[in-house]
Each structure stands twice: as structure tokens, then as C-alpha cells.
Chain A
Amino acid sequence: MRPFIYERVSDWAAATQAAGGGASAPVSYLAGGTTLVDLMRLDVMRPQRVIDINALQDGRYGRIELGQNGLRLGALVRMADAAAHPDVRHHYPVIGQSLQLAASAQLRNMASLGGNVLQRTRCTYFRDVSYAACNKRNPGSGCAALAGVNRMHAVLGGSDHCIATYPGDFGQALIALDATVDLISPDGARTIPFAKLHRQPGDTPDQETMLRPGELIVSFTVPAGPWTRRSLYLKVRDRQSYEFALASAAVALDLEDGAVREARIALGGVATVPWRAADAEAALRGKTIDEQTAMAAADAAFAGAQGHGHNDFKIELGKRTLRRALRQAAALEI
């Protein structure tokens, strides 16, 4: 690991000042460290300064608040605490499940919600610096995964420059429920839709988010809605626990007499970013969920999918995962 200057800050203004002030040197914020320390040890991330924001978790941004208008999740809440929170589990089960089905108990105790949505891809060519070709790590160098071992890679949202999968689960729950992200930076505070946080790789896969230099996530707001209680997260993976998704689906339904009034659907494990499946939602509106309508929705969700060889199976697996999630959500007793 390369040397870095460690700074521990005790208020948010100091944090963004510390990160924004020395803009010439790469700066990283440290919360749980489960991605950052890992990638620094692999020499993939090379910050020269690390700003530890963990002392800020005793304040507002370390708490969960349930109000009339929705749920506010502080960015320094740990995954384990959000997954176990009674209000999250009861009113927003898809959020609780997406966190509970991720990582291990140890990592969930460490990892913050803010860091979770910014976790980096598990693409082996990105993580292994002995591969020269990685447009995400080394812009312009090419993509070793396109013609390489790409069983874990994305079939949605890729480009000729990058097909690295977005590895998270929580992000799918947030995008399905139209969450917003509260940000602070030396220039002030702003709120953006979670759907605008991540960028598809296009021809600049090194630019993964819309965050400005030194900008920091402080909380997420998830609006209330009649679909949040009839929601679930279904995750299909190579082993039963402690594994990234091959395919996953976040589903929330508002039903009236069995017919879909609103469907909220996001897909994980198959796309380069948290992936909202708006076409599948539209295909379900007004319909009763059965094998036929679920299949039509799944076909719509993957209409633009492109396999790259080893990961061709993800298209069919992703469709079946979504079909099962829809049938399960429709059958939930709430």
C-alpha cells in the first residue's frame, strides 16, 4: 500500500474542506473502509490523503428517521443496523433485504450506507493491476473483459469500453423506490435523484458517478408510497450466502383487486449501474401478475440485453429471477 496522510475530522464542513482544499492530490473519504482499504492494498486506489469521517456518525447522519413523507437514512448508518431496523423491515422490506443479503455479518457491521452505493466493481481485470487493459482503472487502455473471462459481467448498460457489473444490492432498492441523495461539498448542499448518481460507462468508464470533487453523501431519502410494503429483494448467486449476485431483482408493487396500479422494478448483478426496468413496469400496469404477464415484463426488461459469451446465461437467469420476484411479491400477505 502506498503512503497516505490520514486525517480524522469532527464536523462535516471540515470534511469537505479537507477534501476540497488540496484538490491536486487524490483524496478519499474513509467510512467502513471495506472497499477503500481493499483496493488500496491491491494498488487499484491510490489516494494521497484519506479523510476519516467516522467521528461524524453520532450526529444526524448516523441515524434512521421514519416520517410521514418517507424514510431518511443517514450515510454513516452501518448496513447491519439498517438491515435490522424495525421501521425499515416493516415499511420498506426491499431495503432491509437488499442489505441483509449482501456481504457477511462482519462487513455489514463495518460498511456505511453512503460507502455501499459507491462500492467499486468486482471485475477481476479492474481489481488486478497486472492486467494493463482496463478503461476504468487506466483510461484508454482497453477492456480485457470483452474478450476475456466475462461470466460475472454485465449484459445491460455496457459499452465497447467497459462491461463491469455494478456489484451492490442496496442501490437497486433505492433506485426502485425513487430515492434521492443528499450531498454536501465546499460549494454547498444539493439533492439529486439516486437514479442520477451513477453513470453508465459509455466511453468514460473511469467516471462512475456524478459526484463533484470533494462531494460527500450525507443521507438518502426514500419517499413513502403504497408500494413500499409489498416489496422484496430476490438475489440469485453461486453460493447461498456471502456472494455477489449473478442476477437480482428489487420489486415493489401497489395492487388494487389483484391488478397492478404501480410496479417498481430494478435489476442487479446484470447491469453496469443500478438498473431501473421502466419498460417492465409499464408492461405490468393494469395487469394481474401471472406467469404470462411476468414473462412479458421480464422480456421487456431484458429486450436490450447483450451477452458477451460466458455471461450469456445471465439474460435468461435475469428474466427468471424477475419473474419469480414478481410472483412472490404479488403473493405477499401484507
Chain B
Amino acid sequence: MASVSTATVVPAFARASRATPAAANSGDARAPSDFTLTVNGRDHRLAVDSRTSLLDLLREHLALTGTKKGCDHGQCGACTVLLDGRRVVSCLTLAVAAQGRAVTTIEGLAKNGELHPMQQAFIDHDAFQCGYCTPGQIMSAIACVNEGHAETDADIREYMSGNLCRCAAYPNIVAAVRQARPAMKTASRD
């Protein structure tokens, strides 16, 4: 997996912020909103149209295309990211409303070239076919474990229900989460 540090992209519609980081009411709906956002540990100063979703900001402005657009209406979970450590759907999150907060995407998981235990578990269990939903599944699964909602298979199924997989890799996804759970606990103790 490529390291996020390569993503020093200057987005087409983003530019260096002027003085105020908070979005101001300029009275012009088409004026860009200026704000700061931390993505995978990197601070970004941005100026984007207020309509921009966090999902489109990541993909189109910061070139972090690991986060996928499925339905764009909060129904499929493909766009799941962590916002201050909590899982959310980035399609229904306005980027400007996430100002000042910390986003973690699939690109931010691997450390020193080593996959996150959940990424490794998905590979070990072949927990995907086409792979399109997988970044969202993995982000959601990490939160699921951190929330303490991965203690039983029934809990995993219930708390992963916001992530749809049209290839129906569900049994293997449950197995992957089951494997990663103790590995994540071990890793967090290290």
C-alpha cells in the first residue's frame, strides 16, 4: 500500500487559506469556505465550495482515492472513515463541517510498511471479491472492535450492518474481524 506521504497534491479547487480558518459568512453562497483539517496525521489548509462532501474532498481534492463512493446517500457504507476516531459516512459529512477535526482513511492505517491487523485479516480470510466495499468495511471493522462490539459473531453482524457487500463476502468478513480483534488488542498493548 502506498504511503500517504506522497499525497502532497495541491487540489484543483483548494488554495492556501487566508487569515481566518473558520468559515465565514461572506454572504456569497459560491465563495469557498476556508478551514483546516487533519487527514491521516497531516494538516491541510483548504478552501472549497461549501457543498463539498468529506468524501469528495478526500478523493477529488486530496487524491486519497482509497475511500470509495458507493451510493452517495449514506446507505452502503463504502465511504466509511474515522472522524476523531468514530466511524462516519463521509458522503453525508460536509467537509466544511468537519473543520478542525482529525480524519483517518484506509491510506492512514499501515505503519512503516506494515499492514494494520484488520487489513491483514481481510487478506488472510479472503474477505472480499471485487474489493470495492473493502476500504469502508475495514474502517468500519476497526471501529467495531474499538467500540467493543466485536465480541460475538452476532454482534459483528449487527454492528457491521451499515457496510453492504454486493459480492456477499459476509462470512469471510466476520471471520476477518474475529481474527483481527485479539491482534488489535495485542497491538494496542505494545
Contact = CB atoms under 8 A, between A and B. Distances in A.
Interface of A: 1, 3-8, 30, 33-34, 37-38, 41-42, 48, 50, 52, 54, 103-107, 109-110, 240-242
Contact of A7 (B23, B89, B99, B140): B23
A30 B94 contact: yes
Contacts of B53: 37
* Residues of B contacting A: mostly: loop
B104 interface: no
Contacts of B27: 5
Nearest to A100: B158
Contacts, number: 94
Tell me what chain A mostly uses at the interface: helix, strand, loop, or mixed: mixed
Contacts of B23: 6-8
Contacts of B89: 34, 106-107, 110
Interface in B76-128: 77, 80, 86-89, 91-94, 96-97, 99
Contact of B86 (A4, A38, A104, A109): A109
Interface stretch (B6-14, B28-36, B60-68): B28-36
A33 B159 CA distance: 21
21 contacts: A3-B30, A4-B50, A6-B23, A6-B25, A8-B23, A8-B97, A30-B97, A33-B93, A37-B91, A37-B92, A37-B93, A52-B96, A103-B162, A105-B87, A105-B144, A106-B87, A106-B88, A107-B92, A109-B86, A242-B161, A242-B162
Given A5-B28, A6-B23, A48-B29, A104 B157 contact: no
A3 B87 contact: no
Q: Which of B73, B80, B149 has the most CB of A within 10 A?
A: B73
A242 B50 CA distance: 29
Nearest to B30: A3
B74 interface: yes
B95 to A, nearest CB: 10
A178 to B, nearest CB: 30
A334 B97 CA distance: 43
A300 to B, nearest CB: 34
Given A6-B33, A105-B162, A38 B92 contact: yes
B167 interface: no
A34 B149 CA distance: 23
Contact of A104 (B28, B51, B162): B162
Interface size of B as a range = 35 or more
Contacts of B91: 37
Contact of B72 (A4, A41, A104): A41
Contacts of A105: 87, 140, 143-144, 147, 149, 159-162
B16 interface: no
Contacts of B168: none
B92 A8 contact: no
A107 B74 contact: yes
Contacts of A42: 73
Given A7-B25, A241-B157, A106 B51 contact: no
B94 A3 contact: no
A242 B163 CA distance: 10
Contacts of B77: 104, 106
Interface string B151-189: 000000111111100000000000000000000000000
B175 to A, nearest CB: 19
B29 A241 contact: no
A72 B61 CA distance: 42
B159 A52 contact: no
A257 B65 CA distance: 62
Given A1-B51, A3-B50, A103-B162, A33 B29 contact: no
Nearest to A9: B25
Contacts of B92: 33-34, 37-38, 107, 110
A234 B167 CA distance: 30
Contacts of B96: 6, 52
Contact of B161 (A4, A33, A52, A241): A241
Contacts of B140: 105-106
A319 B77 CA distance: 34
Given A5-B27, A106-B87, A107-B89, A34 B94 contact: no
Contact of A4 (B51, B159, B162): B51
A110 B92 CA distance: 9
